[in-house]
Structure 1
Amino acid sequence: MIDYSLLTPLGWTPFFQQQLDFEQFEQNVGARVIAQHRSQLIAFTGEDDVVIPITPNMPAIVVGDWLLLDKDNHYVALLERQSSFARKAPGSKLEKQHIAANVNTAFVMMSLNNDFNLSRLERFLALGNEAHVDTVVLLTKADLVSDYQQNLASVHALASVEHVFVINCLDSSDVEQLLPWLQPGNTAVLLGSSGVGKSTLTNTLTQSFSQKTGGIREDDSKGRHTTTSRALVKLPGGAWLLDTPGMREIQLVDSQEGIETTFADIARLAASCKFVNCSHSNEPGCKVQQALQDGEIDERRLNNYFKLLREEQRNSATMAQKRADDKALGKYYKRTQQTAKKLKGR
């Protein structure tokens, strides 16, 4: 019998175990994807690294996923995810791009210098809230600004933010504040723009210098892109960390719940408006507009809420139509092939 206890330190839980029937439990082995390349995946079985070629008939697989392999280490199945981070693919592609899977905590990182942007932070928060994981905000580069207290207060004021830390990614004592979310077997992902300190934090947590680091460009306070791929790394305490490439474009898709959670204060007001179909512009009895006039909510935050909802609805509707078109096209091809087979013998 395969010893599944070897997978527990990798994050294997009853959630994944209960997906296996008796035959699968006896004949297959679980493996976690720890690295993803263009044509192959690297999965870890608890004992060995396994190279798995990516084939056209495989589903979209991402770092953090759990796979079933046969005894020859060939791909059998992708297990259901406990959590998943996804966005609309950058550019004009009409598809969803998965970022990470089976994560317990998202560390959303943002620098306190001129690149500080609350609206961008809310995008990342919506991503984390949609995945139903603990979301912790890490504010970096405090040494590059003379006074960051106002920016810190504005982050604390966001409705869905519970944990906020100002950290020096090079200072191990600062980083120790994150240990409650880095228990053995847990998985954390670092999210944020380029240059906010993700690779530096990874090096401090792993007590190594395996990740290249880049500074902040002085002319515009933008970060330099240093991480170019996704991989799980094991931390000395037994947790797993996923450093992601800096993402300049976060287009939300299938994320309405995440947006509503991120803007919970506004969502509650919207639900109590006089009219069910209130557009929150100039209707009588609009609780949202009343709260705006009373100074209870911020105009920037309200505008960003509407912006993200419109974007999410547009992207989700467009992709749903594409999936429907692809399904119809697949059925057409199948009917054509069946008709061709029938006519072939005549």
Structure 2
Amino acid sequence: MTNTPLHSGLESLGWSSFFADQVKPSEADLAPRRVASVHRGRIEAIDATGPIKLELPDANTADFAVGDWILADPLSDMFVKRLERKTVFQRRPEVGRSRQLVAANIDTLLIVTSCNADFNIERLERYLIMANEAGSKPVIVLTKADTVDDAGQFQVEAQSLQRDLPVIAVNARSADARALLSPWCGVGQTIALVGSSGVGKSTLVNSLTGLESHLQQKTGTIREYDAQGRHTTTARSLHVIPGGGLMIDTPGIRTLFVSDVTDGIETLFSDITELAPLCRFRDCTHAHEPGCAVQAAVKSGTLAADRVERWRSLVSENRDRTPVVSGPRGNKIAHKKKY
């Protein structure tokens, strides 16, 4: 469900010169619209007047992501062209070579976890890598802060994951949540929420959008022993934040693999990658070679050994899961590396 924008003009929906510059003079009569939801056989969009159902030449919607900007015929609502994305958040599923589109044109990715057993460093690192690779600014949101004695310990641990990483602790049901997240929810700004099921994403969506009770997303309970919840969000959707920007909610992701995200890993582990040029050997693995600057930092206590191990594991997974292109020119075949 997409609620009606409170601001007039496409700019309130995230339209900017980045997209306007892609419109050719011959396309000036076409209407820019933003994709609000993607279903198996249809796409719903939004413009300054409200929701619109797009007509597609065929029923294939796999190439569209929530948050995309498209051009359509203003009379027939027929899709004509998808504009180049400014940012795109995507993931590669466990089976198959193609990557799954999650959301597009996101300014800030809110990585939602909770102050309980769901808080998992390894999972947070994977989300941060994907945010870095997408080109979106990551912010970690700690929900259920009101259920623990000291949410600060969770904040400190999360902030240590990446340089200059904002970490906000909130009670998702509180009206204060909107104020705490307002720096990333300005007019025309797009945020997306990702995280496991049961961490309070739907509750946070309801608090930020201020939807009336009959329009609010369903929320579910969690199991106390492992903090796991049911999937209460089943599809990606775009919502307008009253007095602010736009929000894309996503279903909980059970497993997040890293693939094609070398730049994202380097950004997350910049403390390691910046030391690499100081190693004696250019091809240093930072495991056993003499003159290794990374191992020297571990020995001196300025770099945690377990952080280096997580970096090494993620680099290896990314290498093994990233398909390589081979085959005769014009007939290239993508396959995964084997070691």
Check whether TM > 0.5: yes
CA contact (8 A) 2:41 2:60 kept: no
Residue 157 (structure 1) shift: 1.9
Residue 178 (structure 1) shift: 0.8
1:226-269 CA distances to partner (integer Å, 9 max, x unpaired)? 10000101111131111110111111222111111111111111
- Does residue 270 (structure 1) correspond to residue 273 (structure 2)? The answer is no
CA contact (8 A) 1:68 1:76 kept: yes
Q: What amino acid maps onto 1:98 in structure 2?
A: L
User: Secondary structure in 2 aligned to 1:328?
Assistant: coil
Name 1:9's counterpart in structure 2. Answer: 12
CA distance in 1, matches of 2:305, 2:153: 17
2:220 to 214, 219, 227: 214
CA distance in 2, matches of 1:293, 1:126: 26
CA contact (8 A) 1:67 1:79 kept: yes
1:164-203 CA distances to partner (integer Å, 9 max, x unpaired)? 1111001112431111111111110011111111100000
Spell out the pairing of 1:146-157 with structure 2 (5 A cutoff): 146-157=149-160
Name 2:82's counterpart in structure 1. Answer: 78
Spell out the pairing of 1:178-217 with structure 2 (5 A cutoff): 178-208=181-211, 209=213, 210-217=216-223
Identity of aligned residues (%): 39
Spell out the pairing of 1:77-156 with structure 2 (5 A cutoff): 77-89=81-93, 91-156=94-159
Residue 153 (structure 1) shift: 1.7
Q: What amino acid maps onto 2:17 in structure 1?
A: P
Moved more, 117-126 or 266-275: 266-275
Residue 59 (structure 1) shift: 6.7
Aligned length: 321
Which has the bigger relative contact order, CA under 8 A and spacing at least 6? Answer: 2
- Does residue 232 (structure 1) correspond to residue 227 (structure 2)? The answer is no
CA contact (8 A) 2:177 2:207 kept: no
Residue 160 (structure 1) shift: 2.8
Whose helix proportion is higher, 1 or 2? Answer: 1
**Structure 2: which 5+ residue stretches go unaligned?**
1-7, 334-339
Give the number of the structure whose alpha-carbon radius of gyration is greater: 1
Name 1:339's counterpart in structure 2. Answer: none
Q: What amino acid maps onto 1:32 in structure 2?
A: R
CA contact (8 A) 2:41 2:59 kept: no
CA distance in 2, matches of 1:8, 1:97: 28
CA distance in 2, matches of 1:97, 1:141: 30
**CA distance 1:61–1:152, change in 2 (3 Å):** same
1:305 to 294, 307, 311: 311
**CA distance 1:144–1:58, change in 2 (3 Å):** closer
**CA distance 1:246–1:57, change in 2 (3 Å):** closer
CA contact (8 A) 1:42 1:52 kept: no
**CA RMSD across the alignment:** 2.2
Q: What amino acid maps onto 1:28 in structure 2?
A: L
CA distance in 1, matches of 2:332, 2:17: 39
Residue 162 (structure 1) shift: 2.4
**Structure 1: which 5+ residue stretches go unaligned?**
331-346
Spell out the pairing of 1:25-104 with structure 2 (5 A cutoff): 25=28, 27-47=29-49, 48-53=51-56, 55=58, 60-71=63-74, 72-89=76-93, 91-104=94-107
**CA distance 1:20–1:242, change in 2 (3 Å):** same
Residue 145 (structure 1) shift: 3.4
**CA distance 1:81–1:273, change in 2 (3 Å):** same
Name 2:337's counterpart in structure 1. Answer: none
User: Secondary structure in 1 aligned to 2:55?
Assistant: strand
1:78-102 CA distances to partner (integer Å, 9 max, x unpaired)? 110011101102x312111111101
TM-score (norm 2): 0.88
TM-score (norm 1): 0.87
Q: What amino acid maps onto 2:39 in structure 1?
A: H
1:134-158 CA distances to partner (integer Å, 9 max, x unpaired)? 2111111234434444332211222
**CA distance 1:55–1:305, change in 2 (3 Å):** farther
Name 2:3's counterpart in structure 1. Answer: none
User: Secondary structure in 2 aligned to 1:116?
Assistant: coil
Q: What amino acid maps onto 2:40 in structure 1?
A: R
1:267-303 CA distances to partner (integer Å, 9 max, x unpaired)? 1112321111111111111111111122222222212
CA contact (8 A) 1:137 1:161 kept: no
